[in-house]
Amino acid sequence: MVIFLGQELAVGTEHELALRVRDYECDLQGVVNNAVYMNYLEHARHEFLKSRSVNFAEVTRQGIHLVVVRAELDYKQSLTPGDRFLIRTRFEQDGRLKIIFIQNIIRLDDQALMLSARITATALNEKGRPFVPEDILAKLA
């Protein structure tokens, strides 16, 4: 699904979210601060979950905590103020306990790959033990 400036378009199993760089997200060098990319990726993952009918707040109320356990980011180029970009997110399962989000940030003006990421997540039960509920996996697939 593509969400572009509030408009949703279906594109298969990948989720896409279009955003624009805001001035305050940039550092003194005039590029997006590296920590801001984590915010972009998290927002895109939450939108991905919503698009699959996984309500993050409701899951938490049920005592299931979705958590990131590893983040691998490869910075390719820098976004600058005003750049329009797309975050592509897809899901993979790694064994019984890991959820992998493969995410890429693409600058829209020239389709340049700005960042590629592999985010490993899991769910924790009320006792803090990892598990991934089958109903959530079914919605993500």
The answer to whether the beta carbons of residues 90 and 52 sit under 8 Å apart is no
- Tally of domains in the chain: 1
Kindly report the CATH number assigned to the domain that includes residue 76.
3.10.129.10
Distance CA 111, CA 77 (A): 12
Strand 2-4 versus strand 15-20 pairing type:
parallel
Provide the residue range defining the domain that includes 39: 2-140
Check 27, 74, 94, 109 and give the catalytic one.
27
Q: Which amino acid is at 94?
A: D
User: What would the two tokens of residue 90 be?
Assistant: 């897809």
What pLDDT score was predicted for residue 12?
47
In tens, the pLDDT along 84-138 reads 999 999 999 888 899 999 999 999 999 999 999 999 999 999 899 998 888 888 8
109 as an active site residue: the answer is no
The per-residue pLDDT of the chain, averaged, comes to 89
* β-strand pairing of 98-107 with 84-94: antiparallel
